[in-house]
Amino acid sequence: MRWWTKGLMFSVIWWGVVVAVGYIRTEVFLAGQITPAQDEAVSEAYGMAAGFGLAVLWVFCFFRLRSTSA
């Protein structure tokens, strides 16, 4: 499997985990306890985590998995 297909798989998994954790935290644990402004801030924080995590994943896949690809 090529390095970029592994990167794409890991990206989808990472994005899914961040979205699921963010949704569960805001809609289940904090439901009715936070204001819309606080909900926006929490969503923004999870968006930043997803974005930076994707960048780190792609850099890792490029440098680490590129050399092991066939």
Q: pTM for this structure?
A: 0.82
Question: Given a cut of 90, is residue 68 above it in pLDDT?
Answer: no
Rounded to whole angstroms, the Cα distance separating 30 from 15 reads: 21
The greatest distance separating any two alpha carbons of the chain, rounded to the nearest whole angstrom, comes to: 52
- Concatenated DSSP letters for the chain? --HHHHHHHHHHHHHHHHHHHHHHIIIIISTTTS-HHHHHHHHHHHHHHHHHHHHHHHHHIIIIIGGG--
pLDDT of residue 42: 92
pLDDT band for position 64 (cuts 50, 70, 90): confident
Domain residues of the chain, as ranges? Answer: 3-68
CA-based end-to-end distance of the chain: 7
Question: Given a cut of 80, is residue 70 above it in pLDDT?
Answer: no
For the stretch 6-30, pLDDT in tens is: 999 999 999 999 999 999 999 889 8
